[in-house]
Structure 1
Amino acid sequence: MISFTVIGFRSHRLSPKPIFSPFPSLLHTRSLSLPLPPHKGKPTNRNTTHTLVHSNPLLSLIENSKSMSHLKQIQARMTVSGLISDPFASSRLIAFCAISESRNLDYCTKILLNSECPNVFSWNVAIRGYSESESPSEAVILYRRILRDGGLRPDNYTYPLLLKVCASLKSDLMGFQLLGHVLELGFNADVFVHNAVIHMLVSCGELQAARKMFDESCVRDLVSWNSLINGYARAGLASEALRLYQEMEDDSIKPDEVTMIGVVSSCAQLEDLNKGTEFHQFIRINGLNLTVPLANALMDMYVKCNNLKAAQEIFSDMKNKTVVSWTTMIVGYAKFGFLDVARKLLYEMPEKNVVPWNAMISGYIQAKCGKEVLALFHEMQAWNIKPDEITIVGCLSACSQLGALDIGIWFHRYIEKHIIFPNVALGTALVDMYAKCGNIKKGLQVFQEMPGRNSMTWTAIICGLAVHGHARDSIFYFEQMIGTGLMPDEITFIGVLSACCHGGLVQEGRKYFYQMSLKFNLYPNRKHYSCMVDLLGRAGLLQEAEDLITSMPTEADAVIWGALFFACRIHKNVVMGERAAFKLFELDPHDSGNYILLASMYGEANMWDEAEKARKLMKERGVEKTPGCSSIEVNGIVYEFTVRDKLHPHSRQIYDCLFQLTREIEIVGSVPDVHGFRDNFFLGSEFG
Structure 2
Amino acid sequence: MSTIIHPQNHPVPLPHHRHLFPTKPPPYPPCSSSLSFPKPKPKSHHHRPLLLASTTAFSCHTLYYKPHICNDVNSLLTLLNLSVQYSDAELAKAVHACSLKLQEDTHLGNSLVLAYLKLGLFNHSLNVFASLSCPNLVTYSSLISGFAKSNQGSKAIELFMKMRTEGIEPNEFTFVAILSACIRVLESELGFQIHGLVVKMGFLDSTFVANALMGFYWKITGNLRLVFKVFDEMPQRDVASWNTVISCLVKEGMYEKAFELFRVMQGIGCFRADFFTISSILSACEGSNAFMKGKEVHAHAIRIGLEGNLSVNNVLIGLYTQCGRVRDVAVLFESMPIRDVITWTQMITAYMEFGLVDLAMKVFNEMPEKNCISYNALMAGFCKNGEGLKSVKLFIEMVEEGLELTDFSLSSVINACALVMDVKASEQIQGFCLKFGFGSNVCVEAALLDMCIRCGRMADAEKMFRIWPVEHDNSVVCTSMLCGYARNGQPDEAVLFFLRCRLEGTMDLDEVTLTSILGACGTLGFEKMGEQIHCYALKTGFVTDLGVLNSIISMYAKCGNMNDAIKVFDIMPVRDVVSWNALIAGHILHRQGDEALAVWSAMEEAGIRPDTITLFLVLSAYR
TM category, shorter = 0.7 to 0.9
- Corresponding residue for residue 267 of structure 2: 250
1:195 is aligned to 2:211: yes
Deviation at 1:70, TM superposition (A): 6.5
Deviation at 1:76, TM superposition (A): 6.2
On the 8 A contact 1:565/1:577 being kept in 2, the answer is yes
- Corresponding residue for residue 568 of structure 1: 587
1:366 is aligned to 2:360: no
1:212 is aligned to 2:229: yes
- Corresponding residue for residue 549 of structure 2: 529
Counterpart-to-counterpart distance in 2, 1:392 and 1:433: 12
Deviation at 1:378, TM superposition (A): 2.5
1:97 is aligned to 2:113: no
- Corresponding residue for residue 175 of structure 1: 191
1:141 is aligned to 2:158: yes
Counterpart-to-counterpart distance in 1, 2:600 and 2:448: 40
1:237 is aligned to 2:237: no
Q: Which of 551, 554, 561 is the matching residue for 1:541?
A: 561
- Corresponding residue for residue 12 of structure 2: none
Q: Which of 246, 261, 270 is the matching residue for 2:279?
A: 261
- Corresponding residue for residue 311 of structure 2: 293
Q: CA 1:329/1:155 → structure 2, altered by over 3 Å: closer, same or farther?
A: same
On the 8 A contact 1:467/1:498 being kept in 2, the answer is no
Deviation at 1:565, TM superposition (A): 2.5
On the 8 A contact 1:267/1:301 being kept in 2, the answer is yes
3-state SS, counterpart of residue 204 of structure 2: helix
Deviation at 1:314, TM superposition (A): 2.3
Deviation at 1:438, TM superposition (A): 0.6
On the 8 A contact 2:308/2:338 being kept in 1, the answer is no
Q: CA 1:107/1:479 → structure 2, altered by over 3 Å: closer, same or farther?
A: farther
Read off the aligned partner of 2:578 and give its amino acid letter. V
Q: Within 5 A, what are the aligned runs for 1:351-362?
A: 351-362=369-380
- Corresponding residue for residue 225 of structure 1: 242
Deviation at 1:558, TM superposition (A): 3.0
Deviation at 1:173, TM superposition (A): 4.3
Read off the aligned partner of 2:547 and give its amino acid letter. K
- Corresponding residue for residue 345 of structure 1: 363
3-state SS, counterpart of residue 172 of structure 2: coil
Q: CA 1:222/1:583 → structure 2, altered by over 3 Å: closer, same or farther?
A: same
On the 8 A contact 2:483/2:516 being kept in 1, the answer is yes
- Compare 363-372 and 71-80 and name the one that shifted more: 71-80
3-state SS, counterpart of residue 546 of structure 1: helix
Read off the aligned partner of 2:137 and give its amino acid letter. V
Deviation at 1:455, TM superposition (A): 3.5
Counterpart-to-counterpart distance in 2, 1:79 and 1:358: 52
**1:191-246 deviations in Å (ceiling 9; x for gaps):** 11111112222333232211121112212121100111122223333222111111
On the 8 A contact 1:466/1:502 being kept in 2, the answer is no
1:128 is aligned to 2:148: no
On the 8 A contact 1:112/1:122 being kept in 2, the answer is yes
Deviation at 1:590, TM superposition (A): 5.3
3-state SS, counterpart of residue 350 of structure 1: coil
On the 8 A contact 1:562/1:584 being kept in 2, the answer is no
Q: Which of 374, 388, 413 is the matching residue for 2:431?
A: 413
- Corresponding residue for residue 6 of structure 1: none
Deviation at 1:431, TM superposition (A): 1.4
Q: Which of 129, 146, 152 is the matching residue for 1:112?
A: 129
**1:105-148 deviations in Å (ceiling 9; x for gaps):** 1232243245321101001111122122242332122112222x
Read off the aligned partner of 2:363 and give its amino acid letter. L
Structure 1, gaps ≥5 residues long: 1-40, 43-51, 604-688
1:556 is aligned to 2:572: no
> Considering only aligned residues, what root-mean-square deviation do their CA atoms show, in Å?
2.9
Deviation at 1:547, TM superposition (A): 2.1
Q: CA 1:194/1:98 → structure 2, altered by over 3 Å: closer, same or farther?
A: same
Read off the aligned partner of 2:484 and give its amino acid letter. G
Q: CA 1:166/1:516 → structure 2, altered by over 3 Å: closer, same or farther?
A: farther
Read off the aligned partner of 1:206 and give its amino acid letter. N
Deviation at 1:324, TM superposition (A): 1.0
Deviation at 1:381, TM superposition (A): 3.2
On the 8 A contact 2:117/2:146 being kept in 1, the answer is yes
On the 8 A contact 1:187/1:193 being kept in 2, the answer is yes
Deviation at 1:60, TM superposition (A): 5.7
Counterpart-to-counterpart distance in 2, 1:254 and 1:294: 15
Q: CA 1:230/1:590 → structure 2, altered by over 3 Å: closer, same or farther?
A: closer
On the 8 A contact 2:438/2:444 being kept in 1, the answer is no
- Corresponding residue for residue 671 of structure 1: none
Counterpart-to-counterpart distance in 1, 2:391 and 2:97: 61
Counterpart-to-counterpart distance in 1, 2:131 and 2:93: 15
3-state SS, counterpart of residue 187 of structure 1: coil
Counterpart-to-counterpart distance in 2, 1:548 and 1:523: 10
3-state SS, counterpart of residue 157 of structure 1: helix
Deviation at 1:550, TM superposition (A): 1.7
How many residues are treated as equivalent by the alignment?
Answer: 548
1:516 is aligned to 2:537: yes
How much identity, in percent, do the aligned residues show? 24
Q: Which of 468, 473, 476 is the matching residue for 1:453?
A: 473
Deviation at 1:339, TM superposition (A): 0.8
Counterpart-to-counterpart distance in 1, 2:400 and 2:528: 55
Structure 2, gaps ≥5 residues long: 1-38, 41-69
Read off the aligned partner of 1:359 and give its amino acid letter. A
Q: CA 1:507/1:240 → structure 2, altered by over 3 Å: closer, same or farther?
A: same
On the 8 A contact 1:561/1:583 being kept in 2, the answer is no
Q: Within 5 A, what are the aligned runs for 1:501-650?
A: 501-518=522-539, 520-552=540-572, 554-586=573-605, 588=608, 591=611, 594=614, 597-598=617-618, 600-603=620-623
Read off the aligned partner of 1:544 and give its amino acid letter. D
- Compare 165-174 and 294-303 and name the one that shifted more: 165-174
Q: CA 1:566/1:89 → structure 2, altered by over 3 Å: closer, same or farther?
A: closer
Read off the aligned partner of 1:470 and give its amino acid letter. Q
- Corresponding residue for residue 397 of structure 1: 415
Read off the aligned partner of 1:579 and give its amino acid letter. A
- Compare 482-491 and 462-471 and name the one that shifted more: 482-491
On the 8 A contact 1:168/1:203 being kept in 2, the answer is no
Read off the aligned partner of 2:420 and give its amino acid letter. L
3-state SS, counterpart of residue 543 of structure 2: coil
Read off the aligned partner of 1:241 and give its amino acid letter. A
On the 8 A contact 1:203/1:231 being kept in 2, the answer is no
1:165 is aligned to 2:181: yes
Counterpart-to-counterpart distance in 2, 1:167 and 1:503: 56
Counterpart-to-counterpart distance in 2, 1:556 and 1:74: 78
- Compare 483-492 and 453-462 and name the one that shifted more: 483-492
- Corresponding residue for residue 22 of structure 2: none
**1:434-477 deviations in Å (ceiling 9; x for gaps):** 11111111112222323223533222111112212333443444
1:497 is aligned to 2:518: yes
**1:601-630 deviations in Å (ceiling 9; x for gaps):** 444xxxxxxxxxxxxxxxxxxxxxxxxxxx
On the 8 A contact 2:79/2:91 being kept in 1, the answer is no
Deviation at 1:278, TM superposition (A): 0.8
Deviation at 1:346, TM superposition (A): 0.5
Counterpart-to-counterpart distance in 1, 2:427 and 2:296: 50
**1:274-305 deviations in Å (ceiling 9; x for gaps):** 11111111122233463211111122211111
- Compare 183-192 and 334-343 and name the one that shifted more: 183-192
Read off the aligned partner of 1:198 and give its amino acid letter. M
Counterpart-to-counterpart distance in 2, 1:74 and 1:365: 57
On the 8 A contact 2:523/2:558 being kept in 1, the answer is no
On the 8 A contact 1:53/1:59 being kept in 2, the answer is no
Counterpart-to-counterpart distance in 2, 1:67 and 1:327: 33
Q: Within 5 A, what are the aligned runs for 1:17-32?
A: none
- Compare 365-374 and 565-574 and name the one that shifted more: 565-574
Deviation at 1:321, TM superposition (A): 0.8
Q: CA 1:171/1:476 → structure 2, altered by over 3 Å: closer, same or farther?
A: farther
